[in-house]
Amino acid sequence: MNKITFEQYKSAIKVKYEEKKREDISGILLNPTPAQLRNLCLMIFDNLLSKSDENIFRLFFNVKEEESLRKSMEHSDIARFRPIISFLKGEKDSENSTRIELAAILIDFNPRPYNKYLLNVKINEIGKAEVSSLMDENEADDVNDVNLPIDKWVEKESLLKNISFFEKRKAIVFALLISLFFMGYTIKDIVFPKKECMIWNNNHYEAVDCKNEKSGILDFTSVEILNENLLSLKKIEVNKNTIFFKKGKPVVWYGKSVEGNYEYFNQPGLHPETEKTLRPISLYIIKKYLFK
């Protein structure tokens, strides 16, 4: 079974956007503007949000649980929608998982969010494997039936009826197992909540439960949808003993903080606070800013 990646999830959303914009009678999605997408968010909100969609809205608009989501949306800066438009149109990619999930909501992509998409694909692949196996067996039987004498054919038909009964029972058992799986998945999530969000804490990302983002040491505004690839991103301290290059290639990346200070990281990506692309270290930067 192929591993479904977040990149494939983003591609599926883009495909859905191309379909959706042709069906959209309002014309908003055909050539969206930031103001139109903000208004679309308000319309979606007024039609009632699921809990997971509401979590995405609160993350995207930086709205705390006790604050009015609609009021914050009405007064939000529409410029925050520009990266979403660029992503949907294929003009510029985005690694910001919260933006990707909001794009999924705007075009009504399902299943969403990413973790549900993964689960759905895995279950479908299991089902397809079962169907494919049964089809292969039936096709082989049809070919062999041509050369059977009448008495053997009648005997085989009787046998197939019994097999059909067992196959139906097998299908029922399979359906029950899937139902129990979903039930167990739900109960497990209630007893042991999945950490589907992450937050930048000082110098690294931490996985957190989206419903328990209020913590004394954590800043709510930095909460994002969980991206496992970013959990290994760390801010590092550098000195004269730091290894900056391996085999001629940089192993340290840098970017400016909100205050304008240079900060250094162990892998490429976006600066967790400014969301600007980190750059690979160079001899010029080392000489000019580190060891003058």
Q: Residue 66: what pLDDT?
A: 82
**Tokens coding 132:** 């494919």
- Looking at the structure of the chain, the number of domains it has is 3
Considering the domain architecture, whether residues 119 and 102 belong to the same structural domain is answered as no
pLDDT digits (tens, 9 = 90+) for 236-253: 999 888 999 999 899 999
* Of the candidates 133, 131, 110, the residue with the CA atom closest to the CA atom of residue 121: 110
End position of a domain, from candidates 89, 106, 123: 106
* Model confidence, pTM: 0.48
Q: Residue 38: what pLDDT?
A: 92
Considering the domain architecture, whether residues 97 and 121 belong to the same structural domain is answered as no
Q: Residue 49: what pLDDT?
A: 82
Considering the domain architecture, whether residues 100 and 178 belong to the same structural domain is answered as no
Whether 251 is in a domain gets the answer yes
Q: Which amino acid is at 13?
A: I
Whether 224 is in a domain gets the answer no
CA distance 206 to 154: 66
Whether 216 is in a domain gets the answer no
Considering the domain architecture, whether residues 172 and 129 belong to the same structural domain is answered as yes
CA distance 130 to 197: 34
Domain span at residue 271 reads: 233-292
* Of the candidates 51, 109, 45, the residue with the CA atom closest to the CA atom of residue 76: 45
Q: Residue 287: what pLDDT?
A: 87
End position of a domain, from candidates 106, 132, 164: 106
- Residue 145's contacts (CB-CB under 8 Å, 6 or more residues apart) are 153, 156
Whether 255 is in a domain gets the answer yes
Whether 214 is in a domain gets the answer no
**Sheet of strand 235-236: strand arrangement:** 235-236, 262-265, 253-256, 279-280
End position of a domain, from candidates 57, 82, 106: 106
Q: Residue 140: what pLDDT?
A: 47
Whether 228 is in a domain gets the answer no
Measured in degrees and rounded to the nearest 5, phi and psi for residue 220 equal -60, -35
Residue pLDDT tens, the chain, 292 long: 344 578 888 999 999 999 988 887 777 888 889 999 999 999 888 888 888 899 999 999 988 888 899 999 999 899 999 999 999 999 988 888 899 999 999 999 988 888 888 877 766 666 555 545 544 555 445 444 445 454 555 555 555 555 555 565 666 666 666 665 555 555 555 444 556 788 888 888 888 876 554 444 444 445 677 777 788 899 999 988 899 999 989 999 999 988 889 999 999 888 888 888 899 999 998 988 887 6
Whether 153 is in a domain gets the answer yes
